Amino acid sequence: MAGNLTFEALEAAVKDGTIDTVLACFPDMQGRLMGKRFHAEGFLEIAEGETHCCNYLLATDLEMATPSGYASTSWESGYGDYVMKPDLTTLRPMPWLEATAMCLCTVEDHTTHAPVAHSPREMLKAQILRAAALGFDAVMATELEFFLFQGTSDEITKSGFALKPISNYNEDYHILQTSKEEYVMRPIRNHLRSMGLPIEGSKGEAEAGQEELNIKYADALATADHHTIAKHAIKEIAYQNGVAASFLPKWHKDRVGSASHVHQSLWKDGKNAFFDPDRPHAMSKLMESYVAGMMKYAADYTYFMAPYINSYKRFAKGTFAPTQLVWSIDNRTAAFRLCGADTKGVRIECRVPGADMNPYLAQAAMLAAGLKGIEEKLTLPAPFTGDAYADDDKLHIPRTLGDAREALMASDMLKAAFGEDVVRHYARAAEWEIEEFNRVVTDYEIARGFEKA
């Protein structure tokens, strides 16, 4: 595994012509990479300094619109600049792009040079520091599920989104069908591994054309970086191979959705602090309080795991997406699944996030809730047994984006963890999504009511 580039290695590669382009970028509110392409020599000139971007990039939507209602930026304030300060520890080659490297940046206030509080990467860093103050390292892993469709995204858009998956049948763990897709998946695995991401493997998922990429666990910030870079790479490599990759959580009412499960644990002195061989399931008291915190505050942070209207279409019975906020032992119908019970690898998997989550925001919110559970010394109820799709309104995941926004706005826990201004910022993002959706007349409404209404 090649690993990250050192600055000295980048200088040498620029000098010998191996690298001529460097992407300076940062994750936006949606978890996409935003930034600039530098001539490599130009990047070397600013690498230990800074470059700039418009501050609307952390107050926009999926369409890159500039909604009103944000306190941090507006037409009235003139849409000024943020500072992008390269984090040289994140230098990596981008082997699927010719002679190209990338570097993630810290987003800072243009005047004070303080980190921007609602920048997703900074929000996660703050919770990692909070865990460190308690003596713990946050260790996480994310799974990336997505669909591959015939034709590039540009071709599909021109067709009016006539979507045809790359395969014709459920390919969960299916070696024959996934062999047909190796022209896309093999370069994804190999390119990401060669740029330093600890890729473990890929597999077919539980639907036609659905894939899963697995990346080894790491510290929480590295995990979010790995996830974001991998998601970006998957889209670009798919495009290069004439197909489209989509992380939409639910693309068809009769098909299962795409998730992004998050595994997590706290470590201390290089050992899993969630492990206690003398307790039931090897779950330490610390782990029980952490999981109890995740459960108690799950509705508060659901927005950060399910940020769009479509996100809530995924929560359906019998689809392996959860509906009830319960924990269980190795039970894929529960929102929180205990993995590695009775082993040193014991951890909790949150199955709520969809493929559209921003990993920095989701991990930051879950970590905030878990740490709050530790601070409050919460106790964990007995594990749920059986089919967690059984109806219980008291335990149901928020059913709509509107419900999740209300829980977000009412959350004293998240206001304390992130700051009230940050919570209001993301509540406005949710509100905007609802406003935009409510303006649209859908194909469903026309087909259902055109003649019959």
Place of tokens 């865990």: 131
305, 366: one domain: yes
The CATH number of whichever domain residue 20 belongs to comes to 3.10.20.70
Encode 315-351: b = buried (16+ Cβ within 10 Å), e = exposed: bbeebebbbbbbbbbebebbbbbbebeeeeebbbbbb
97, 137: one domain: no
Q: How far apart are CA 91 and CA 43, in angstroms?
A: 12
Residue 38, beta-bridge partner list: 22
Q: Looking at 56, 83, 116, which one is the last position of a domain?
A: 116
The CATH number of whichever domain residue 215 belongs to comes to 3.30.590.10
**Per-residue pLDDT at 1:** 33
Residue 1 domain-assigned?
no
Q: What is the mean pLDDT of each run of 10 residues along the chain (453 residues)?
A: 78 94 97 96 92 90 90 78 93 96 94 93 97 97 96 93 93 90 96 95 93 96 97 97 97 94 96 96 97 97 97 91 92 92 95 97 98 97 89 85 97 97 97 96 92 90
Q: Which range marks the domain in which residue 48 is found? A: 7-68+75-116
106, 142: one domain: no
Domain count, the chain: 2
19, 98: one domain: yes
Q: Are 228 and 274 in contact (CB under 8 A)?
A: no
Q: Looking at 116, 146, 174, which one is the last position of a domain?
A: 116
349, 203: one domain: yes
How many CA atoms within 13 Å lie on the side-chain side of 21? 11
Residue 229 domain-assigned?
yes
Q: Are 81 and 112 in contact (CB under 8 A)?
A: no
Residue 252 domain-assigned?
yes
11, 60: one domain: yes
Task: Give CA 82 to chain center in angstroms.
Answer: 23
Please name which of 379, 160, 348, 393 lies closest in space to residue 285, comparing C-alpha atoms: 379
Q: What is the DSSP string of 50-90?
A: -EEEEGGGGS--TT----S--SS--TTTT--EEEEEE-GGG
Pairing label, strands 51-54, 81-86: antiparallel
**Per-residue pLDDT at 395:** 87
Q: How far apart are CA 166 and CA 186, in angstroms?
A: 15
Q: Are 215 and 226 in contact (CB under 8 A)?
A: yes
282, 317: one domain: yes
Pairing label, strands 21-27, 327-329: unpaired
| Helix 220-240 × helix 120-133 angle, to 10° | 150
| Apex 220 CA angle, 27 and 184, nearest 5 | 60
Q: Which two tokens stand for residue 335?
A: 């929102």
**Per-residue pLDDT at 3:** 58
Q: Enter the pTM of the model.
A: 0.95
| Residue 382 CB neighbour total at 10 angstroms | 7
Q: Which two tokens stand for residue 295?
A: 């459960």
Q: Strand, coil or helix: what is 215?
A: strand
Please name which of 311, 201, 171, 196 lies closest in space to residue 251, comparing C-alpha atoms: 311
98, 158: one domain: no
Q: How far apart are CA 37 and CA 24, in angstroms?
A: 6
Helices (H), 136-284: 153-158, 175-180, 182-194, 220-240
108, 132: one domain: no
Residue 449 domain-assigned?
no
207, 271: one domain: yes
Q: Please give the backbone phi and psi of residue 234, each rounded to the nearest 5 degrees, phi first.
A: -55, -45
102, 164: one domain: no
Residue 383 domain-assigned?
yes
90, 185: one domain: no
Q: What is the dihedral of CA 115, 119, 122, 123, to 10 degrees?
A: 130
Residue 448 domain-assigned?
no
Q: Strand, coil or helix: what is 385?
A: coil
